[in-house]
Amino acid sequence: MRRRVEAWDATLIRAALGKIPKNAAPGLAQAAHLLTLGRRTNTKTSYASKWQRFVDLCTTTQLEQGCKPLVYLPASERTVLSYLGFLSNEDLVHETSLNPYLAAINQAHEDIGLPRPALWHYLTLLRKGFAAQEGDLNPNACTCMPVPADVMLDILHLDLGTDNTHTHTLRMCACLVVCYSWYNRADTGIQLLQSHVTLTDTSMTINTKSKTCARNVACPITRRFDPRHDPDALVYRLLQRWHTLSSPHHSASDIYWSLPGDTHDWQPSIITKWLRSCLQLVHRAPPVGEPWSGHSMRAGGASASLAIGVDLFHIMSFGQWKSLAAVQRYLSFLILPDRAAYIFYGWLCPPPTP
Range of the domain at 167: 149-348
Residue 143 lies in a domain: no
CA–CA distances in Å: residue 343 to residues 140, 152, 169, 270: 31, 11, 21, 26
Last residue of a domain, one of 84, 113, 137: 137
* Residues 155 and 20 occupy one common structural domain: no
* Residues 61 and 170 occupy one common structural domain: no
CA–CA gap between residue 264 and residue 70 (Å, rounded): 39
* Residues 183 and 307 occupy one common structural domain: yes
Residue 144 lies in a domain: no
Mean pLDDT, all residues of the chain: 88
pTM, full prediction: 0.77
Residue 353 lies in a domain: no
pLDDT higher than 80, residue 143: no
Last residue of a domain, one of 113, 137, 161: 137
* Residues 56 and 154 occupy one common structural domain: no
157-162: average pLDDT: 77
Residue 46 lies in a domain: yes
Residue 147 · residue 295 · CB < 8 Å? no
Last residue of a domain, one of 93, 116, 137: 137
* Residues 133 and 264 occupy one common structural domain: no
Confidence of residue 333 (pLDDT cuts 50, 70, 90): confident
pLDDT higher than 60, residue 305: yes
**Domain CATH number, residue 323:** 1.10.443.10
- Output the pLDDT for position 141: 57
For residue 75, give the 3-state DSSP assignment.
strand
- Output the pLDDT for position 261: 84
Residue 146's contacts (CB-CB under 8 Å, 6 or more residues apart) are 296, 299, 300, 301, 302, 303, 304, 330, 332, 335
Confidence of residue 85 (pLDDT cuts 50, 70, 90): very high
Residue 208's contacts (CB-CB under 8 Å, 6 or more residues apart) are 182, 184, 188, 196, 219, 220, 221, 320
CA–CA distances in Å: residue 168 to residues 194, 236, 245: 17, 19, 11
Residue 354 lies in a domain: no
Confidence of residue 282 (pLDDT cuts 50, 70, 90): very high
Q: In 84-207, at which residue ranges do the beta strands (DSSP E only) sit?
A: 197-199, 203-207
* Residues 154 and 125 occupy one common structural domain: no
Confidence of residue 180 (pLDDT cuts 50, 70, 90): very high
* Residues 182 and 258 occupy one common structural domain: yes
* Count of the separate structural domains present in the chain: 2
**Domain CATH number, residue 79:** 1.10.150.130
pLDDT higher than 70, residue 34: yes
